[in-house]
Structure 1
Amino acid sequence: MLFRQLEYLVALSRERHFARAAQSCYVSQPALSEAIRKLEEELDVPLVRRGRSYEGLTPEGERILMWAQRILADREALTDEVGALRTGLSGRLRIGSVPTASGAVSLLTGPFCVEHPMVTVDVTANLRSEEILRQLQNFELDAGITYLPETLPDGFLAVPLYEERYVLLTNIGDGLARQATATWTEASRLPLCLLTSTMQGRRVLDEIFGEAGLRPSPRVETDSVASLFSHVRTGRWASIVPHAWLHVFGVPDGMRAVPLVEPTRTMPIGLVTTAREPGPVMARALAETARTTDVAAILERLPGTAKA
């Protein structure tokens, strides 16, 4: 009964609505409400601020929520561990990725699924770096693929995967398409389609432009790397994309990917997991795949990625 009560509390915190939380747990709203009320009685503390609708957790509820997430995650990790010892790894692996790195996720999930055929993989590919760390901390993800800061926060481990570099994606008829490289200054003069300014991938580009004393004014902004490619295809715009996405789309007909220089900048991308011991068996298995898969070497063979 305790596990079920904790599951209901976690669901209520996530959904922030009694009916939606009950629906996500496949129970009636009265059953969920009563279970949480009984948990409050057993712990002798109020957990939920109640009004006409859900108003959030009490300070005590927030502390209990942290324990609930940990207890449920440990129970799931124990179940996975026992299952792996008996019949091999099975269950569901949850991966979060920043959008600019999501094109490279398959380079890990491919060999991972070959090694562990009974595991299913759930990839969320539109998360910000800080959201990935938050969800890892809250046991909502098993692993994340994201930018690696110089110093990773306490409680996390990282396996470096590759250095993200940038290419100018432009129409083959553009003059820059005939060059071996293009400068950021030359790119800034083109009608650009870029990621939205709220995304970390765009903030990286703005920092590089700023290093060159430039402030680009894109004609089109989007939250989708695929949308960048589709806009360049029209012949009206150029874009700056992470070279790893050439693994997904290649260089489409009528386009050219030109390495960007002056300055030449890279950003480290890696697999991040929590530093819990012994840690979830799913996360440990994926980290082992990351250590034995040379993602950087695969991406080095892509067009438009020659180092200047």
Structure 2
Amino acid sequence: MINKLEMFIAVAKEGHFGRAAESLGITQPTLSTGIKQLEDMLGVQLIFRGSRYGGLTPEGARALVWARRLVADSRTFREEMRVSRHGLSGHLRLAVIPTALTWAAKLSARFSDRHPKVRFTIQSRNSVEILKMLENLEIDAGLSYLDNEPLGRVTTQPLYTERYMLVCHAENALALETQVSWADIAGERLCLLTPDMQNRRIINQCFMEADVTPDALVEANSTVVLAAHVEQGGWVTILPADMARFLASGKRLSIVPIVGGHVEHSVGLVAPHREPHTPVLDALLSEAAELAAS
């Protein structure tokens, strides 16, 4: 039954039978048969469909909540049994906001040193996508903001506090300053993350509080792209301190602290709000707590 529930979750996520079948690595007829068998087992129609997917029925919407819970519990059960036989092993899937990727590397490196049998897949995603991926069981945990926008029912483990820095070319006049305000950056050629990123929304708010309207001439969903523009000269960007130091290392870039505004936000792990977590996820949460305290 679990495999049929996974089929149902995939269809609900993709909103399309063909894409759902492809995501599961099965044929569309196999998927359709599995959904029909699940509906027969439960005695209700779960999905409106004619020639194509038509959405979930009211019963299907309620069943989706249970399906996610049952599939998650099944995975936890399998993990518990594997740990009892082979020790901590498995595969951790993380989605991380772009500005926290350096911290994701710190966390995964420390964890891998202690638990070498655990593999990682790390993806860069915005905060909204991370919460959606958690809900759809596509990832085991995320690394995102904890205190700026609603998270819903998740388990959190703070990791660090994000503080913002101006990143400019070493020849920029602002590179000589010991600190700058948001107003000081007005008039500079800005390149910033795209508006779908929570980091960009935070930065926009800081500018507005300083009565400055930010005008980013270049927008990207990659911090590497932003730093590359700054290195070309004539551009400036704003990044968290750790990411700024990492990208500026070995380049003719300067980083200058920004003062004023609400420039500190908590970033950490977000995980599904359920007990028990898998042994691997429990170990990751503990590792994050140790890293935060170090």
Q: TM range, normalised to the smaller chain?
A: over 0.9
Q: Which residue of 1 aligns with 2:45?
A: 46
Is the CA contact (8 Å cut-off) linking 2:165 and 2:244 kept in structure 1? no
Deviations 1:171-216 (A, max 9, x none): 1111111111122111122111111223211110011111211112
Please, which of 267, 270, 274 is the counterpart of residue 269 of structure 1?
A: 267
Which residue does 2:206 correspond to in 1?
208
Secondary structure, counterpart of 2:54 in structure 1: strand
Task: Tell me the CA shift for residue 93 of structure 1.
Answer: 0.6
1:85 maps to: 84
Match of 1:181 in 2: 179
Is 1:117 aligned to residue 110 of structure 2?
no
What secondary structure is seen at the aligned counterpart in 2 of 1:219?
A: strand
Moved more, 55-64 or 131-140: 131-140
Distance 1:220 1:155, change over 3 A: closer
In the superposition, relative to structure 1, how do residues 94 and 267 fare at CA in structure 2: closer, same or farther (>3 Å)? same
The CA distance in 1 between the partners of 2:278 and 2:108, in whole Å, is: 17
Aligned residue in 2 for 1:3: 2
SS of the equivalent of 2:155 reads: strand
Native 8 Å contact 2:9 2:136 kept in 1: no
Query: For the residues of structure 1 that align with 2:249 and 2:255, how far apart are their CA atoms?
Result: 7
Tell me which stretches of 4 or more aligned residues in structure 1 moved more than 3 Å: 150-155
Distance 1:197 1:32, change over 3 A: closer
CA change 1:276–1:249 in 2 (3 A) is same
Could you tell me how far apart the structure 2 residues matched to 1:81 and 1:132 are?
A: 25
Q: What is the DSSP-based 3-state SS (H/G/I as helix, E as strand, rest coil) of the residue aligned with 2:287?
A: helix
Name the residue aligned to 2:276: 278
DSSP 3-state at the match of 1:197: coil
| Equivalent residues of 1:104, 1:247 under 8 A apart | no
- Residue 287 of structure 2 is matched in structure 1 by 289
TM-score (norm 2): 0.93
Q: Which runs of 5+ in 2 are unaligned?
A: none
Equivalent AA in structure 2 for residue 197 of structure 1: P
Number of aligned pairs?
294
CA contact (8 A) 1:142 1:282 kept: no
Deviations 1:72-94, CA, capped at 9 Å, x for gaps: 11111111112112211111111
State how far apart, in whole Å, the 2-side matches of 1:153 and 1:168 are. Answer: 28
| Paired residues of 1:48 and 1:57 also in contact (CA < 8 A) | yes
The corresponding residue for 1:300 is none
Equivalence for 2:222: 224
Question: Corresponding residue for 2:23?
Answer: 24
Work out whether residues 77 and 279 of structure 1, in 8 Å CA contact, stay in contact via their aligned partners in 2. Answer: yes
Q: How does 1:18-167 map to 2 (within 5 A)?
A: 18-128=17-127, 130-149=128-147, 155-167=153-165
- Quick one: distance in 1 between partners of 2:26 and 2:195? 41
Paired residues for 1:187-198 under 5 Å: 187-198=185-196
Flag the 1:37–1:269 CA change in 2: closer, same or farther, 3 A.
same
Q: Percent identity?
A: 37
**Deviations 1:125-163 (Å, cap 9, x if unpaired)?**
1222x3323332333322111111279756322221111
- Stretch moving more, 157-166 or 241-250: 241-250
